[in-house]
Amino acid sequence: MTSMKTLTLQKVKHSLVLFALFFLLGISTSYAQDDLEISEGSESPVTLKADIVSRYVWRGQSLGGFSVQPSFEFFNSGFIAGTWGSISIDRSQPLQETDFYIGYAFGDILSIIVNDYFVYDETQLYHNFFQYSDTSMHQTEAILTFNGTENIPFSLTATMFFGGADFKNSDGSRVYSSYLEAAYNFGTGKTEYSLFAGAGLNSPDDNSLGYYGNEGFEFVNVGLSVGRSLTVSDRFEIPMDAKLVINPATERAMLVLALTLNAK
């Protein structure tokens, strides 16, 4: 019991130290960014961001515990390119993720993205990043998003896997795992809300669970997101987001807290 307690305390201290480092990094980055904008007089096309999440949840599925999710993105005249990753603090979780994406945004209303997910085993010496096949650790997906307008506070996202490792039907054909999510977004005062519902659209005919289940159209990601900024000073705020996620297909309910450090 003593060793288990010591190990738990060490994990807590490790997490707190990492959180503090990212917190201080966010403050220094924010101030540095303010100075940069004053000297150059224009905003950089590159956005740096890091999310610190209590649990990594993706479309109603828990993919890891306490995680840090860094990213950077280039945006210019509608063109988008970037990379995003998720690193679990819990070392008993060997699977980590590094994604690359490219796309185009039509104003603030519509965007289309091609995202390449790369999930790898951290305990392995070689991750085979350059191996791209139906049995590799890459999965490629097309993502179409309607962001809504001021008069239409609804967003709609449709996705489909079309390359890399996807589930197969019994005849060996690709499943083209697809997902559809709708959200109603609104705000009151300093708080932003989003009611969302996402569903898997297809099912493999070999009784495989696929990415979202095997029942055809089935809700897998339903919930409420509540966002507000934590004011640190007159010049610095940390966006916070609490999200209640319910997966009706697996009968799971998860509450996730996320802090975002953002430098534009």
Structure confidence at residue 208 (pLDDT): 60
pLDDT at 123 over 90: no
- Residue 10 is which amino acid? Q
pLDDT at 14 over 80: no
Structure confidence at residue 93 (pLDDT): 78
Q: What is the pLDDT of residues 186-201, one digit of tens each?
A: 998 889 999 999 999 8
- Report the chain's C-alpha Rg in angstroms: 20
Q: Which helix (H) or strand (E) holds 25?
A: helix 2-40
- Residue 36: phi and psi, rounded to 5, are -65, -45
- pLDDT-wise least confident of 16-30, 100-114, 116-130: 16-30
Structure confidence at residue 222 (pLDDT): 98
CATH number of the domain bearing residue 235: 2.40.160.40
pLDDT at 15 over 50: no
pLDDT band at 9 (very low <50, low <70, confident <90, very high): very low
pLDDT at 22 over 70: no
Give the whole-angstrom CA distance, residue 147 versus residue 24: 32
**In the chain, at which residue ranges do the beta strands (DSSP E only) sit?**
46-53, 56-58, 61-64, 67-76, 79-88, 95-106, 110-121, 138-146, 154-164, 178-188, 191-200, 218-233, 236-247, 252-263
More confident position, 124 or 259: 259
Buried b / exposed e over 176-213, threshold 16 CB at 10 Å, is: ebbbebebebeeeeeebebebbbbbbbbbeeeeebbbb
Domain count, the chain: 1
Residue 208 near residue 196 (C-beta atoms within 8 A): no
Give the whole-angstrom CA distance, residue 178 versus residue 130: 25
Angle made by CA atoms 28, 26, 29, in degrees to the nearest 5: 40
Residue 225 near residue 193 (C-beta atoms within 8 A): yes
Structure confidence at residue 30 (pLDDT): 35
Structural domain boundaries, residue 72:
2-263
Closest CA to 114 of 156, 180, 164, 70: 164
pLDDT band at 99 (very low <50, low <70, confident <90, very high): very high
pLDDT at 142 over 90: yes
pLDDT at 62 over 60: yes
For β-strands 95-106 and 110-121, DSSP reports them as antiparallel
Structure confidence at residue 264 (pLDDT): 62
Cα dihedral across residues 31, 32, 35, 37: positive or negative: negative
Measured between its terminal Cα atoms, the distance across the chain in Å is 47
